[in-house]
Amino acid sequence: MLTINGKQFKSRLLLGTGKYPNFDIQKKAVEMAESEILTFTVRRMNIYEPSQPNFLENIDIDRVSLLPNTAGAKTAEEAVRHAKLARASGLCDMIKVEVIGCNKTLLPDPIETLKATEELLKEGFTVLPYTSDDVVLARKLEELGAHAVMPGASPIGSGQGIINPLNLSFIIEQSKVPVIVDAGIGSPTDAAYAMELGADAVLLNTAVSRAKDPVKMAKAMRLAIEAGRLGYEAERIPKKRTATASSPMEGMSI
């Protein structure tokens, strides 16, 4: 079970809701993924225009927890404003802090991310900050009281997979809160790898929403994450430089 601030989830796949070809495919993909946590960008919600189409209308929100994110924020102040707006709309108490510090890489601004996390924790939110794969920053976010850390595998939407498995494994080793690998996952292999490294969960969006068949890819990601987790729990064999026979002859009479 994935446990975030005392709340338990069977699914270890957190799914983004942006960039699907249409709401129907999005709904089917969400169902196929069996995700229990869906993230969406507060800034893109039609909070002020309830007559406009809204992805929430298509989702069974009794079955899922919503994780609004503060994408679009460039400062802690903006991120806090987005979070408060989401909470005032009655959508959640969980928030994914996303404060972007670089337009080219969409990497998070570490200083503003720390500030926003601190402020939102004071406000009583369950705070899940998106961070780079910086080991020290992940530790500082946890020390502040973040309820999970979400290191990026690679730049958002790049589909490059896990660029720095070493850093991710350091973050996983040191963290007592859940580590949710977020952003840059391109294929089921990447998602399984994150889980085999020992991540508690994976958050992804583009790999599913922009796949040729998003519904099939949602299933592939669900299965990959389950397989990766099982593999982690089963503990893989060590890698060796030389061969060892799979059917040893020792002890046989002929």
Region binding ligand DXP by CB under 6 A among candidate stretches 26-34, 52-60, 112-120, 204-212: 204-212
User: Hey, what are 149's tokens?
Assistant: 């850390």
Q: Which residues contact 213 (CB under 8 A, 6 or more apart)?
A: none
Active-site hit among 96, 140, 219, 240: 96
Among 59, 66, 71, 99, binds ligand DXP (CB under 6 A): 71
Angle at which helix 165-174 crosses helix 188-197, to 10 degrees, equals 40
Residue 186 is labelled as binding a ligand: no
Spatial distance between the Cα atoms of 153 and 194, rounded to a whole number of angstroms: 8
Compose the 91-110 pattern: x for residues touching ligand DXP by CB under 6 A, - for all others.
-------x------------
- Closest to ligand DXP by CB, 5 or 158: 158
- Closest to ligand DXP by CB, 70 or 252: 70
Token pair 């299965």: residue: 223
Spatial distance between the Cα atoms of 113 and 133, rounded to a whole number of angstroms: 13
Applying the rule CB under 6 A, the residues between 164 and 183 that interact with ligand DXP are 182-183
Token pair 């404003």: residue: 81
Residue 157 is labelled as binding a ligand: yes
Q: For residue 90, count CB atoms less than 10 angstroms from its CB and return exposed for 0-12, middle for 13-18, buried for 19 or more.
A: exposed
Compose the 21-60 pattern: x for residues touching ligand DXP by CB under 6 A, - for all others.
------------------x---------------------
Which residue in the shown chain puts its C-beta closest to ligand DXP? Answer: 16
Which has the closest alpha carbon to 151: 125, 217, 141, 196?
141
Among 11, 26, 69, 113, binds ligand DXP (CB under 6 A): 69
Region binding ligand DXP by CB under 6 A among candidate stretches 3-11, 115-123, 200-208, 214-222: 200-208
* DSSP-assigned beta bridge partners for residue 40: 68
Q: For residue 34, count CB atoms less than 10 angstroms from its CB and return exposed for 0-12, middle for 13-18, buried for 19 or more.
A: middle
- Closest to ligand DXP by CB, 29 or 71: 71
Among 68, 184, 188, 214, binds ligand DXP (CB under 6 A): 184
* DSSP-assigned beta bridge partners for residue 149: 179
Which has the closest alpha carbon to 180: 112, 133, 145?
133
Q: Is 156 in the site for ligand DXP (CB under 6 A)?
A: yes
| φ, ψ (nearest 5 deg) of residue 150 | -125, 75
Provide the binding-site residues for ligand DXP, judged by CB under 6 A.
Answer: 16, 18, 39, 69, 71, 98, 156-157, 182-185, 203-207
Residues serving a catalytic function are 96
Binding-site residue set = 157, 183-184, 205-206
Q: Which residue ranges make up the annotated binding site for 1-deoxy-D-xylulose 5-phosphate?
A: 157, 183-184, 205-206
